[in-house]
Structure 1
Amino acid sequence: MKPRAAAAGDTALIRAASLRGFVPLVEELGGDPLRLLARFRIPQSVLDDDDGLISITAHDLMLDTAAEELACPDLGLRLAQRQDLGILGPLALAIESSSTVAEALEFATRFMFVHSPALRIGVEADPRAATGVVAVTYRKDLRESPYSPQAMELGLTLLRRICAAMLGGIDGLRSIEVPHAPISPIEHYAEVFGVPTRFHAPVAALRLDRRVLDARFSAADESIREVALAHLSANYTSPHGSTAVRVRGALSDGLGTVSPSLPQVARLLSVHPRTLQRRLAAEGTSFDLVLDDVRRSAAERYLTTTDIPVAQVAAMLGFSEQSALSRAVRRWFGASPRSLRQGESGNLSS
C-alpha cells in the first residue's frame, strides 16, 4: 500500500523548520512542492515560521511519497545537506554554547522534545559491544507515528553533519547504523557519511569513539549557555513526565494484548486506580479521554497507512466487535473506516 496523506489533527508534532529546504529541493527535482503540501494537509504558510508545528506523520509520509514519486531515493540525505543546527531553534543555542560534546548531547537529550516530542537523542552502550565505543542514538516513538526511511535518513545525516561542523570533522566516527535496508546505492551512503553504513541495525545511531565525548568546543560560552537553558526550562515543559503521557504510553504499548482498563493500567504504573484517577483529573483529563485519544490516533494510523483488515484493527484497538470501531471512527472523523482509508474523512481540516 502506498503512503497516504495524514491528518492535520495528529497528536505527534514536529517543528516546521524540519522542512527547511524542502520546497527548492522538490522544485529542482521537477516536482510540485505546493501540491505535496496540500495533499498531506500541511499549510504552506507554516513554512514561513520555523516554530510552527505540523503533524510528524504528515511530514514523514510526505518525504517518503516525494522520494517515490520523484524517483529520488536519497531525498532525505539530500534534504539534510540543506539544513544545519539552526533547525533546532532555541535548543541550537544551548548546544552551540556547550563546553563539550558530552554536554551538548546531554542538552539534546533533555530538550529534543522542543523540536518534536516523538524524537529522542541519547548516548548508549555500543550495540556492537566494541571497547571504547558509544552510540549516539536517534529514535522515533513508533507508538505515535509510523517508521519513515526518508525521515530517518534525514535525521541521521543532519545529526552527523551537526557533529562534524561543531568538531571540525569527526575522526572518531566508526559507522552509521540504519534500521532499514539501503534505499540508495551503497556507494552514495559512503559518500555522504564518510564511514561504513550498517543496515538492518537494531537502532539508528552514530557509533563514536568514547573519547569524542570529551572533545571541547572553542565557541563554548557559559553565560550564553545559562541564558539558553533558562529560556528552555521556563518556556518548554517536557510532555514525557505527565501522568497522562505515561498512561498514553502504557495504553499504546498494550493495545491488542491487554485489556485497556483503568485497573490494568494502574497496575502497570504501580499506582492505585483511585490515585491514577486523581492525578489525571489534576491534569484536566481522565482515563476514558486518554484511551479515546490513543484509540483515535492508532485507528487513523492503521486505516490510512496500512492494509490491515478493519476487523483486525478493531481487535488491535481493544474493541469487542468491528461495529464498535465503526461507530468510534464515525464519531472521530465523520466517516466510516472504509471511507477514512480512501481519504474521505469529513472531520479533518484540509
Structure 2
Amino acid sequence: MGTGSLTRAAALRGLPQLVDELGGDGAGLLARFRVPVEAVDGTGGDGDGPGTGDGNGPDALVPTRSVARVLETAATELGCPDLGLRLAQRQGPEILGPLAVAVANSPTLGDALDCAARYLYVHSPALHLAPVPDPEGVAGVTALEYGSVDPLPPQVADLGVGVVHRIVLLLGGGPYGLRSVHLPHPDLAGAARYREFFDAEVRFDRRAAVLRVPSDLVRRPLAGGDETVRAIAVDYLETHFDRPDRSVTERVRMAVDRSLGTGPVRISSAARLLRMHPRTLQRHLATEHTTFEQVVDDARRDSAERLITRTDLPFTQVAAMLGLAEQSALSRASRRWFGAPPREVRRSAGVAL
C-alpha cells in the first residue's frame, strides 16, 4: 500500500512489546524491515519538542509499505489473526503526534473528526478518513470511511479502524452508538472476537472499511477542549507539514513566509527546501501563472499590511522583518501596494503613531 509514501513510525506504537508477549522478538522484527524501534517506542529524539519528521525521533517516518509488512508478518509468524485489534487496544490519539493536540481540543466530535480527516496526511499521506453516506442506506446513520490509496491489508484495516473507534470512544467518554462495522477482508479471528472489540456487529468482505455511526454524533460536545490550544496546534500543522495536494505556489509561499527577515530570500533556498532544481521550480510556477518574485512580493505585502496596521513597531523594524534593506524600500513598496506611505496606512488603520 502507498508505494513510495511514508507513515509516522508511531503507527506501530506498542508492537514490539506485543510481539514479545506473544513469544516473538519485537525489536528483531522491526529490524528486519528497517523500522527504528526507538521511533516506534517514542524514545528517540531529545524530548524537548516535536520531531523533524526524519531520523529516529518521535516523528520519524518509515515507508508505509514497511508498516503493512511488519503487521502482516507478525500476524502470520505468531499465529495471531487478531494482531491488528490487539495493537489498536494499546493505542489512542497520542499516535497522531501533533495532530492529536488539535483533535483533542476540538469543541465537538464532528470538529475533531473533521480535523483528523483534514490533517491525517501528517500521520500518513496514503490514508484518508471521511464521512460517507451509509452503505446500508439507513436513515440517521453516517459512515466514517477509513481507507488508503491502495487496498488495505487485513491487519492494517483492523488496526486503523480499531484506532479510530478507540479515539472516538476516548474523546466521547464512552459508547457512542456504533451501529456496525464493515471490513474489506474475510473474517480473520472469528466474529465473536470482532464483536468483543467493537461491541457491535462486524460484517466482512465489504467494499470499504467503515464505522456506521449516528448522524448526530458530530454534534456531541467534547469536554475540556481549549480553542486557543487548538488554534496553536492547527497553525503548527499548517506551517510545519506540507499538504500533499498543495500547489507549488502554495509550497513556495510557505517557504518564503518562514524565511522573511531571516536573510536574503532566494529561489535557490526555496528550491532546496522543495527538493527541486531552481529552473524546475521556475517552470512549475510559470505553469501556475506566477513567478518566484511575485510570490515573494505577495508574501511581503501581506506581512507588511499586518505589521503596519496591527502593530506599532518602528518602520525600520518592519522593513527588516520583511527582508527589505532599508526603510526607504518599505516606503516605496507601501506606495505600490497600498497607494500611500507606511505612516499614512498606519494612521488610517487607527494605530497610534
**Length-normalised TM-score, structure 1:** 0.65
Q: 1:22 touches 1:79 (CA, 8 Å); kept in 2?
A: yes
Who is 2:123 aligned against? 115
Who is 1:219 aligned against? 224
Equivalent of 2:35, from 30, 36, 42?
Answer: 42
- Structure with higher Rg: it is 2
How many corresponding residue pairs?
Answer: 242
Who is 2:211 aligned against? 206
Equivalent of 2:138, from 109, 117, 130?
Answer: 130
Who is 2:346 aligned against? none
1:19 aligns with 2:26: no
Of all paired residues, the percent bearing the same amino acid is 42
Q: How far 1:280 moved relative to its partner?
A: 7.8
Who is 1:58 aligned against? 66
CA RMSD, Structure 1 to Structure 2 (Å): 2.4
Q: How far 1:93 moved relative to its partner?
A: 0.6
Rounded to whole Å, the distance in 1 between the matches of 2:206 and 2:12 is 26
Q: Would the alpha carbon gap of residues 281 and 17 (structure 1) be closer, same or farther in structure 2, given more than 3 Å must change?
A: farther
Who is 1:167 aligned against? 172
Q: For 2:234, what is the secondary structure of its paired residue?
A: helix
Q: 2:169 touches 2:176 (CA, 8 Å); kept in 1?
A: no
Rounded to whole Å, the distance in 1 between the matches of 2:245 and 2:6 is 14
Rounded to whole Å, the distance in 1 between the matches of 2:236 and 2:184 is 35
Equivalent of 1:95, from 94, 103, 107?
Answer: 103
Higher relative contact order (CA 8 A, sep 6+): 1
Rounded to whole Å, the distance in 2 between the matches of 1:24 and 1:99 is 34
Q: 2:168 touches 2:176 (CA, 8 Å); kept in 1?
A: no
Rounded to whole Å, the distance in 1 between the matches of 2:3 and 2:38 is 18
Who is 1:105 aligned against? 113
Runs of 4+ in structure 1 over 6 Å off: 280-283
1:241 aligns with 2:246: yes
Q: How far 1:32 moved relative to its partner?
A: 1.1
Superposition pairs of residues 164-313 of structure 1, within 5 angstroms: 164-242=169-247, 278-279=283-284
Q: How far 1:243 moved relative to its partner?
A: 6.9
Q: How far 1:169 moved relative to its partner?
A: 1.8
Counterpart code for 2:91: Q
1:33 aligns with 2:41: no
Q: How far 1:221 moved relative to its partner?
A: 1.4
Counterpart code for 1:224: V
Q: How far 1:282 moved relative to its partner?
A: 7.3
Q: Would the alpha carbon gap of residues 128 and 278 (structure 1) be closer, same or farther in structure 2, given more than 3 Å must change?
A: farther
Any gaps of 5 or more consecutive residues in structure 1? 1-5, 245-276, 284-350
Counterpart code for 2:36: P
Any gaps of 5 or more consecutive residues in structure 2? 44-56, 250-281, 289-353
Counterpart code for 2:128: R
1:76 aligns with 2:84: yes
Q: For 1:124, what is the secondary structure of its paired residue?
A: strand
**Length-normalised TM-score, structure 2:** 0.65
Rounded to whole Å, the distance in 2 between the matches of 1:282 and 1:43 is 40
Give per-residue Cα distances to partners, 1:225-277, cap 9 Å, x unaligned: 11111111111120123479xxxxxxxxxxxxxxxxxxxxxxxxxxxxxxxx9
Q: How far 1:41 moved relative to its partner?
A: 2.2
Rounded to whole Å, the distance in 2 between the matches of 1:177 and 1:159 is 13
Rounded to whole Å, the distance in 2 between the matches of 1:147 and 1:120 is 11
Q: For 2:128, what is the secondary structure of its paired residue?
A: strand
Q: 2:108 touches 2:220 (CA, 8 Å); kept in 1?
A: yes
Q: 1:50 touches 1:87 (CA, 8 Å); kept in 2?
A: no
Q: How far 1:36 moved relative to its partner?
A: 1.4
Counterpart code for 1:93: V
